[in-house]
Structures are given as structure tokens and as C-alpha cells.
Structure 1
Amino acid sequence: MFIIRWILGRIILFLNFVFSPKKRQRPLAEQQQIDTQTQALALYQYPACPFCVKVRRAMRRQGLNIVTHDAKKAPHKDELVAQGGKQQVPCLRIEENGQVQWLYESKEIINYLDQRFA
């Protein structure tokens, strides 16, 4: 089973690489403002997870530079479980006004990004 998941993961990554969406082009000042706003966001994800790929593609289409953390590795995995409450990816960490919100589910994350940055 591990081998099948590994092969499927590599196929997903390859297809994502080949058919990656175009990055949205904005005026420099507007892009800098968006980059400043996205510094308060972090995406916890697995590289070959199809739902994580879906969120990363949406981020690329919108031209968002959001930090991504591999949730399989120790410090990020522990942070996701301790602060987010569960080990589920994709998960968007949103820090606003000193409060942290953890947003799960790829569709909800994409809707949040569309409403805030589109």
C-alpha cells in the first residue's frame, strides 16, 4: 500500500508541475501590499496530498506568497497538533489582531483566500 501511495503521490506532483497555473500579475505596489498581508498566514500541508496541491494551485493563481510548512516533519507537525488541535492537512494558520485561527478543509481555505485577496 505504501508503494502505491508513493507512486500516486509522485504522479500528482509531476502533473502539478507540468500543468501548473499561471501566476497572477499585479502592479508592484499592490503585490507588495498583498505580500505584507500574507506574512500572517502559513499553510501546513503534505507535498503530495491532492487537497494540499489544490490549495497551492489556488495560491499560485492568485499570486499569493504564503509560507508552507511540511506537516510530516517534527517541529511543524507538533505545532499543528498542539495549537491547531488535530493533525489534518491542508490547514491554514491565520494570525490577525493577536489571535490565531486554524482553518481546515481545502474548499474553505480557497474560499477564504478568494474573499480576502481576489
Structure 2
Amino acid sequence: MKFIRLLLGKLILLLNAVFSPKPQQRAHDDQRRINKELESMALYQFESCPFCVKVRRAAKKMNLPLETVDAKQPDNEQTLLNGGGKRKVPCLRIENKSGEVTWMYESNDIIQYLEKRFA
């Protein structure tokens, strides 16, 4: 079973690389503003998780250079557990201006949030 999961993960990454979406183009000032806003966000993910790939593809299509955090690393996993409450990916960590942190799970919810906020 572990071999099949590894093989499928590599296949997902290969297909993602081959059929990578083209990023949305925007004015330089708009992109700079968005990049600044994204500094308060991080996507906790596993590299070959299909739902994580889905979020990364959507972010790339929207030209959102999200910071990605490997949730398999022990320190990152502990941060995810302490902050979000569960070891589930993808998870978007959002810190607002007052320092309050929200942990958003579910790929469709994350994509919808990003589309609403940045598209």
C-alpha cells in the first residue's frame, strides 16, 4: 500500500508539472500589494497530497505566491497541531493585522477564500 501511495504521489507531481496553469497577470502595484498581504499566510501541506496540489494549482493560477510549509516535518507538524488542532492538510494559516490567527482546512474552502480575497 505504501508503494502504491508513493507511486501515485509521484504521478500527481509529474502531471502537475506537465500541466501547470499559467499565472494571472496583474499590474505591478497590485501584485506587490497582494504579495505583501500574503506574507501573513502560510499553506501547511504535504507535497504529493492531491488536495494540497489542488490548492497550490489554484494559487498559481491566481498568481498568489503562498508560503508552503511541509507538515511532515516534526516542528511544523507540532505547530499545525497546536494552532489548528488537527494534523490535516491542506491548512491555510491566516494571521490578521491584530495578530489573531485563523486555521482554515478543506481545499475548496481555502480556494474559495483566496478567490474572494484576491481575484
TM-score bracket relative to the smaller structure: over 0.9
Matched residue, 1:59: 59
TM-score (norm 1): 0.98
Indicate the percent of aligned positions where both proteins have the same amino acid: 52
Counterpart mapping for 1:1-118 below 5 A: 1-96=1-96, 97-118=98-119
- Cα drift, residue 24 of structure 1: 1.1
- Cα drift, residue 98 of structure 1: 1.4
- Cα drift, residue 32 of structure 1: 0.3
- Cα drift, residue 108 of structure 1: 0.3
**Cα offsets for 1:11-56 (capped at 9, x unmatched):** 0000000000001111111100000001000000000000000000
TM-score (norm 2): 0.97
Unmatched runs of 5 consecutive residues or more in structure 2:
none
> Distance between the aligned counterparts of 1:16 and 1:71, measured in 2?
20
**Cα offsets for 1:64-118 (capped at 9, x unmatched):** 0110001001111110011110000000000002100000000000000000000
Which stretches of structure 1, 4 residues or more, deviate above 3 A after TM superposition? none
Alpha-carbon RMSD: 0.6
> Distance between the aligned counterparts of 1:10 and 1:116, measured in 2?
32
